[in-house]
């Protein structure tokens, strides 16, 4: 079995390759950045380059499309559409050109937006930013592809925020700020977060190589959801931090975020604090994972264990 992974040099992609190699498959990593861990598997390329992608997919049986623009502060904003939508169009073109019958796509719970309760896979999309909007549009592209042939197989995975070793995203920044003493709790900390540990999502993605023809859509998060306050408590306990964390009202924190937005716009610098990150941190961002549980998947790690694994690797 020959597998191509777009964005395979990244955080999730590298962990996925770790898992897939135990399955005795042939792997090609298609990424604009060479894999530092698996350079021998790397083919340099960009999902925005249709011809390069078509060429790389010769002889491929399964495409994992992990390539995405996902950061909060991507500039210019048109990159979200160029990569997330345009890249998906090119993946479909490459699949058709090479008779690839299976695609596994990592979308995002960002398509639901904020404070939507606990949406399941049938909940309508209501994205609040360009990342969520372009991921939703990408889903439509793959759904149109799979509808064209009853021999095609499409898995759409909608992960909550993914964290783990070797990641420098929002969870890493949060932990770093708590440890350094720069963190302030914005709001009461009672809002809950759906999150997923990279070891668990890689394990589930690996299982999808056995998916039958058809369409499969899953929310992905490690349950039970933790509150912001509980996440802070786990970090403090792991690092033996005893000091009290200061708290500020939500509106004060949001005004601070807008201030950093303005400074960033004037200076061109990027900051770890922004209005978008304040909104995301203080929002309830939970999803229903009943369908995931019904699939029979058993996560190798608990959510708390994943957080502690990341802290041990990155901060000790």
Decide if 197 is catalytic.
no
Cβ–Cβ under 8 Å, residues 144 and 105: no
If we measure between CA atoms, which residue out of 170, 276, 174, 272 comes closest to residue 230?
A: 174
Measured distance CA(82)–CA(86) in Å, rounded: 5
Catalytic residue selected from 131, 152, 197, 301:
131
Q: Please give the structure tokens belonging to residue 11.
A: 């955080």
Residues annotated as catalytic are 131
């Amino acid at each position: 079995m020959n597998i191509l992974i777009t964005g395979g040099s990244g955080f999730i992609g590298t962990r996925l390759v770790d898992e897939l190699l135990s399955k005795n498959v042939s792997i090609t990593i298609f990424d604009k950045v060479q894999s530092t861990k698996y350079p021998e598997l790397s083919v340099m390329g960009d999902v925005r380059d249709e011809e390069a992608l078509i060429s790389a997919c010769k002889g491929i049986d399964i495409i994992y499309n992990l390539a995405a623009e996902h950061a909060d502060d991507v500039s210019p904003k048109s990159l979200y559409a160029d990569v997330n939508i345009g890249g998906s169009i090119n993946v479909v073109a490459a699949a058709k050109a090479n008779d690839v019958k299976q695609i596994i796509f990592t979308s995002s719970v960002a398509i639901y937006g904020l404070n939507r309760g606990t949406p399941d896979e049938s909940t309508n999309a209501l994205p609040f930013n360009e990342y969520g909007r372009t991921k939703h549009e990408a889903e439509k592209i793959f759904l149109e592809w799979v509808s064209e042939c009853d021999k095609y197989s499409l898995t759409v995975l909608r992960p909550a925020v993914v964290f783990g070793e070797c990641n420098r995203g929002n969870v890493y920044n949060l932990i770093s700020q708590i440890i350094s003493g720069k963190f302030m709790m914005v709001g009461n900390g009672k809002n809950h977060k759906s999150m997923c540990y990279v070891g668990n999502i890689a394990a589930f993605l690996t299982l999808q190589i056995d998916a039958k023809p058809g369409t499969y859509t899953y929310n992905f998060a490690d349950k039970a959801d933790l509150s912001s306050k509980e996440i802070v408590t786990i970090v403090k306990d792991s690092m033996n931090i005893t000091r009290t964390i200061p708290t500020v009202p939500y509106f004060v924190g949001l005004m601070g975020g807008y201030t950093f937005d303005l400074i960033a716009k004037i200076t061109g610098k990027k900051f770890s604090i922004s209005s978008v990150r304040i909104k995301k941190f203080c929002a309830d961002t939970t999803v229903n994972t009943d369908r995931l549980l019904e699939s029979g998947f058993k996560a190798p790690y608990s959510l708390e264990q994943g957080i502690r694994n990341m802290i041990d690797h990155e901060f000790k």
